[in-house]
A and B are shown apart, each in its own frame.
Chain A
């Protein structure tokens, strides 16, 4: 797509056999880098984005003109210090920021793939992004880092490539999507599909986008990223630019107005079909099942040092699910640290200014870098 012509991408020639059985090749993988690769190529970190993230983690996103999604954590002098480390971030396949996704043109039909795009998995995403290691000639990464779906990719990365990263930092994630996670994603998908404009996924031909459905999906999801306490403290029952209730269905409450706004700005930057595909990939994620019911087996061959972080108020990927990963690692004698950060900001804590979290990441990377040097 033309709006992506100035962003960095590689065309991956090497065929990738997807979990669904199809094979793709010559597909675009869009990426961004931050910082400089050092002489012995020992300071490279790969970060993985969450459901609606992209490769523009820091600075200003050149497409949306908005701040990068991880500006608090990533940049010069920050927790992931780009004065020190070389950071690679790619857009996942299935995404909508330049990597191979459902809005790409299908060469057979000359039309966007829409729902003819193959169903992809977290495993497929990671295998696609692995090509960037070859591209940058990096023998071993200093770290793989990601929150939420990014954390799932971190776990999958270590399982697939056990000795390709010195350390791993999965944040606020899970090794297996829970029934509640799947239910919430299904809610979002059904909201998109219920929008008439969705047209079974072939909306780009009609030039009418399923914005309403996508906006509602985002609104619902957004609630799951916050905590009850956080919402109550920020919004409570405060009214939106009015002194009293209006006895109608306009946004009387600030929280309603806030959610509507979140939905409306989201549709400007995100593709509805990508939302379907990526949430599906998350739902299919079950690392325990991939290793025949024994999560420890996923990490058995690895020499990667883990540091796992969860947040007290995260009910989407709660501490107990993060702890299961810690337990699986300990069961096979792996080097793992774990901390639950106190925060009222819910699942979104990993994206926000939470000093204890940012300090923990910074300190862990410092120690890791000193050990590798």
Chain B
């Protein structure tokens, strides 16, 4: 299991109602389903991944988070998870707004573009960083809106989005991943 899953799962209260936006192959949902709460469902755009979720016995809605979050009523989930997909949306700001509308809390993780390895890569190689977390080249990456932990914090502050950092160990230079709990 990825360490990230463990870190996300421990932020979630037992038996709460959870939506995993862009749930991928369902690995995270499965972990949460087995350990934290079975009141969890996902939304996923890739047909292959939807099938993998169904194989795992998970509830999944095939759809595009960019458009399909609006069908959920306000505050209909205790937690909405967005794990490493924010940067792939056309309109991340809108997605964040939607997460905060439908979820009492949103758990957002981002690949940190301020991570030291990323900085070193750009500084010394002079090419777009390729790391374990960011394995694609600039021309085939699904990531449209890369940001650093600092960028995301600034983004939230500007919009008066509350960042609950109690469980977070966020450091712009030394973390490959930023994990945030945000609420309106």
Contacts and interface: CB of A to CB of B under 8 A. Distances in A.
Contacts of B47: 339-342, 356
Interface in A174-206: none
B54 A337 contact: yes
Interface string A323-342: 10011001111011111111
Contacts of B62: 338-340
Interface stretch (B69-77, B85-93, B126-134, B175-183): B69-77
Q: What range describes how many residues of A lie at the interface?
A: 20 to 34
Contact of B54 (A331, A336, A359): A359
Given A327-B71, A330-B71, A331-B73, A360 B61 contact: no
Q: B-side binding surface: helix, strand, loop or mixed?
A: mixed
A330 B54 contact: no
A337 B51 CA distance: 11
A205 B61 CA distance: 53
B41 A335 contact: yes
Interface residues of B, number: 16
Contacts of B12: none
Contacts of B50: 339
B54 A360 contact: yes
B57 interface: yes
Given A326-B61, A339-B62, A360 B41 contact: no
A339 B73 CA distance: 21
A370 interface: yes
Contacts of B55: 359, 363
A106 interface: no
Interface of B: 41, 47, 50-51, 54-55, 57, 59-63, 71-73, 76
Closest 8 pairs (CB-CB, A-B): A367-B57, A327-B71, A337-B59, A338-B61, A330-B71, A363-B54, A339-B62, A360-B54
Given A335-B59, A359-B55, 12 more contacts: A330-B73, A330-B76, A333-B73, A336-B59, A336-B61, A337-B54, A337-B59, A338-B62, A339-B51, A339-B60, A359-B54, A360-B54
